[in-house]
């Protein structure tokens, strides 16, 4: 055991930086694990070793911010450091990479070490890719779900039922939670909704909600907000509810992957941990969605229901149309503005209103609020009567946002480019995946003004020169990046007499 002086490094990363001479004394090489002890607080972290003796003064250990959250150093305290062996999970990750079946104990160890920040980004990615390529069977998915819940906190409500919804994502513009949750709560049900940030998309529900209210709350706060107004829409990554989830999503996001077993566990762990009794799952089906055929969607629905049975939750799934974006907007401000307009009774796209009403309607029927077959109409009634809007205002307020927020407070980015129809004809294809790539290149979801507004949708007739969609960005270099992606991907196909024109010169005239 070696004693060094702790120095907090103002870098949002995990690990500890050691002077190469101290590393030699401790007996570790760059990348090895060390245990760090600050009085009663301990953690295991990866050591990074300086290549010169002067980069970090000998006798000092530089602790990165993520690791310091466990040690809580202010700087200048003496900390004890010793070498420890490689994490136990690495053998289990290797087992999955070799197509093995993981036990409950092995899964629990992997998840515990992810939550404790013991595993390095490379090891977490190896685990994810192992599960992506070799899959997880239903036992392994149940172990993963239980482990994700056991490593965090659970909510416990005195009155039931607790109703929840979740979308598997994969379709752009899917802002339905901003309508579905207030409808469910306006019907008198409790819905403590936790959402993730974008995984494969250009804006997850947590990203969207954050534009109008804080979303980072503890499990206790989520419970008390739900008890007070009936519901809330928060970011799962801040709650300590299934805390492994967000740490896993962090490595799925750049790869744009959402492995089947991880997705089931991620969604259902969040439902189980909030104590949900009744759950509606939205499964968008479309050529460029996560689920490409109805058969695949039915199989996934059965998996969700089986997992629900094993965990004691009643699950119903809706296979929804995922060929085209939902509504006419993609990206944070554009999507939230579209949802707020509908809540305020202004006109909005049918695809968004109908989908939200169908999903909320299933929840109302499951909870016995209405007879079977009457859910959609009842949900629409709650939406058009303004009751869902009043409820959304309460939810925004209880989360610390401004309940008077309107669509006008959420402007699209100033830098824009409109793509016009090259020919008269029909919009025969909208490639969802390409639209997401373009929106992300424009800066979504980090830049709230970034995204795409669709003037036309699949199947609509356009005249030559009609605007088809506008890309918005907060920064001009981001807009240029988005245009490069657009030229490469050609996300919209208008079919008239001309099948294609190379290069597509409709990308050439910027409109501001």
Which positions lie near ligand RI2, rule CB under 6 A?
166-167, 169-170, 177, 195-196, 198-201, 204-206, 258
Are 154 and 275 spatial neighbours (Cβ–Cβ below 8 Å)? yes
Cα atoms in the 13 Å half-sphere on the side-chain side of 426: 5
Q: How far is the CB of 104 from ligand RI2 (least distance, A)?
A: 26
Q: How far is the CB of 360 from ligand RI2 (least distance, A)?
A: 12
Q: How far is the CB of 281 from ligand RI2 (least distance, A)?
A: 9
CA distance 292 to 260: 13
Catalytic residue among 117, 207, 258, 389: 258
351 binds, among ligand RI2, ligand URA, none (CB under 5 to 8 A by kind): none
Closest residue to ligand RI2: CB criterion:
169
Are 58 and 5 spatial neighbours (Cβ–Cβ below 8 Å)? no
> Which residues in this chain contact ligand URA in the complex, by CB under 6 A?
168-169, 196, 199, 258, 262-263, 266-267
User: Which tokens hold the place of 112?
Assistant: 């515990």
If the CB atoms of residues 300 and 360 are measured against ligand URA, the closer one turns out to be: 300
CA distance 161 to 177: 19
Q: Are strands 60-64 and 2-9 parallel, antiparallel or unpaired?
A: parallel
User: Which tokens hold the place of 202?
Assistant: 């250009």
Q: Which helix (H) or strand (E) is 480 found in, with range?
A: helix 476-489
How far does Cα 82 stand from its chain's mean position?
Answer: 37
Cα atoms in the 13 Å half-sphere on the side-chain side of 90: 11
Q: How far is the CB of 249 from ligand URA (least distance, A)?
A: 6
Residue 444: how many other CB atoms lie within 10 Å: 33
> Which DSSP string corresponds to 393-456?
HHHHHHTTS-TT--GGGSPPPSEEEEEEPSSSEEEEEE-HHHHHHHHHHTTTTTSTT-EEEESS
Find where tokens 């420890």 sit: 84
363 binds, among ligand URA, ligand RI2, none (CB under 5 to 8 A by kind): none
Closest residue to ligand URA: CB criterion:
266
198 binds, among ligand RI2, ligand URA, none (CB under 5 to 8 A by kind): ligand RI2
If the CB atoms of residues 43 and 205 are measured against ligand RI2, the closer one turns out to be: 205
263 binds, among ligand RI2, ligand URA, none (CB under 5 to 8 A by kind): ligand URA
- Comparing CA positions, the residue from 159, 168, 446 lying closest to residue 301 is 168
CA distance 325 to 353: 13
CA distance 54 to 45: 22
Q: How far is the CB of 197 from ligand URA (least distance, A)?
A: 9
Residue 11's contacts (CB-CB under 8 Å, 6 or more residues apart) are 64, 65
Is residue 258 flagged as an active site residue? yes
Q: How far is the CB of 177 from ligand RI2 (least distance, A)?
A: 4
Are 298 and 177 spatial neighbours (Cβ–Cβ below 8 Å)? no
Are 27 and 83 spatial neighbours (Cβ–Cβ below 8 Å)? yes
Cα atoms in the 13 Å half-sphere on the side-chain side of 457: 17
If the CB atoms of residues 49 and 307 are measured against ligand RI2, the closer one turns out to be: 307
378 binds, among ligand RI2, ligand URA, none (CB under 5 to 8 A by kind): none
Q: Which helix (H) or strand (E) is 195 found in, with range?
A: strand 191-195
61 binds, among ligand RI2, ligand URA, none (CB under 5 to 8 A by kind): none
Q: How far is the CB of 186 from ligand RI2 (least distance, A)?
A: 18
If the CB atoms of residues 38 and 167 are measured against ligand RI2, the closer one turns out to be: 167
Residue 188's contacts (CB-CB under 8 Å, 6 or more residues apart) are 230, 369
Binding-site residue set for AMP: 170, 196-201, 205, 266, 290
217 CB-contact burial (10 Å; exposed 0-12 / middle 13-18 / buried 19+) = buried
Q: What is the DSSP letter of 291?
A: B
If the CB atoms of residues 258 and 389 are measured against ligand URA, the closer one turns out to be: 258
If the CB atoms of residues 226 and 266 are measured against ligand URA, the closer one turns out to be: 266
CA distance 165 to 505: 43
Residue 424's contacts (CB-CB under 8 Å, 6 or more residues apart) are 462, 463, 464, 496
CA distance 209 to 2: 47
Q: How far is the CB of 168 from ligand URA (least distance, A)?
A: 5
333 binds, among ligand RI2, ligand URA, none (CB under 5 to 8 A by kind): none
266 binds, among ligand URA, ligand RI2, none (CB under 5 to 8 A by kind): ligand URA
Binding-site residue set: 170, 196-201, 205, 266, 290
If the CB atoms of residues 165 and 341 are measured against ligand URA, the closer one turns out to be: 165
If the CB atoms of residues 15 and 169 are measured against ligand RI2, the closer one turns out to be: 169
Catalogue the active-site residues: 258
């Amino acid at each position: 055991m070696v004693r060094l002086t702790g120095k907090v490094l103002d870098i949002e990363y995990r690990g500890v930086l050691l002077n190469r001479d101290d590393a030699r004394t401790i007996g570790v090489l760059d990348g090895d694990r060390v245990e760090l002890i600050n009085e009663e607080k301990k953690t295991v972290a990866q050591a990074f070793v300086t290549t010169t003796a002067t980069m970090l003064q000998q006798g000092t250990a530089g602790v990165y911010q993520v690791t310091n959250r466990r040690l809580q150093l202010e700087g200048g305290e003496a900390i004890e450091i010793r070498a420890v062996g490689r994490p136990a999970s690495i053998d289990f990750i290797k087992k999955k990479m070799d197509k093995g079946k993981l036990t409950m104990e092995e899964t629990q160890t992997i998840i515990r070490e992810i939550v404790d920040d013991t595993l390095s980004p490379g090891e977490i990615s190896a685990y994810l890719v192992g599960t992506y390529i070799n899959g997880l069977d239903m036992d392994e998915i149940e172990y993963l779900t239980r482990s994700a819940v056991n490593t965090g906190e659970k909510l416990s409500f005195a009155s039931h039922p607790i109703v929840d919804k979740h979308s598997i994502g994969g379709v752009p513009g899917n802002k339905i939670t901003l309508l579905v949750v207030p409808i469910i709560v306006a019907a008198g049900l409790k819905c403590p909704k936790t959402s993730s940030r974008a995984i494969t998309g250009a804006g997850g529900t947590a990203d969207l909600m954050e534009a109008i209210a804080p979303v980072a709350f503890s499990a206790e706060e989520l419970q008390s907000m739900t008890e007070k107004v009936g519901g809330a829409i928060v970011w799962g990554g801040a709650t300590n509810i299934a805390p492994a989830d967000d740490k896993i999503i962090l490595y799925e996001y750049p790869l744009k992957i959402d492995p089947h077993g991880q997705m089931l566990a991620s969604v259902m762990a969040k439902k189980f941990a909030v104590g949900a009794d009744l759950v509606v799952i939205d499964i968008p089906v479309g050529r460029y969605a996560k689920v490409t055929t109805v058969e695949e969607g039915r199989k996934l629905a059965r998996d969700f229901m089986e997992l629900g049975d094993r965990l004691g939750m009643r699950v119903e799934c809706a296979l929804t149309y995922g060929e085209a974006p939902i509504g006419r907007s993609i990206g944070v401000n554009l999507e939230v503005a579209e949802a707020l307009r509908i809540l305020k009774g202004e006109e909005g796209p049918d695809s968004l209103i109908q989908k939200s009403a169908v999903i909320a309607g299933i929840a109302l029927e499951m909870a016995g609020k209405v007879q079977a077959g009457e859910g959609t109409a009842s949900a629409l009634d709650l939406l058009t009567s303004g009751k869902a809007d009043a409820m959304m205002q309460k939810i925004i307020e209880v989360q610390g946002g401004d309940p008077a927020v309107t669509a006008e407070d959420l402007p699209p980015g100033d830098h824009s480019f409109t793509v016009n129809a090259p020919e008269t004809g029909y919009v025969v294809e909208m490639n969802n995946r390409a639209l997401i790539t373009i929106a992300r290149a424009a800066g979504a979801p980090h830049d709230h003004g970034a995204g795409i507004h669709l003037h036309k949708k699949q199947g609509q007739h356009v005249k030559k020169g009609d605007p088809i969609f506008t890309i918005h960005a907060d920064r001009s270099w981001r807009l240029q990046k988005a245009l490069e992606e657009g030229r490469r991907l050609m996300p919209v196909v208008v079919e008239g007499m001309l099948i294609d024109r190379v290069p597509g010169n409709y990308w050439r005239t910027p409109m501001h």
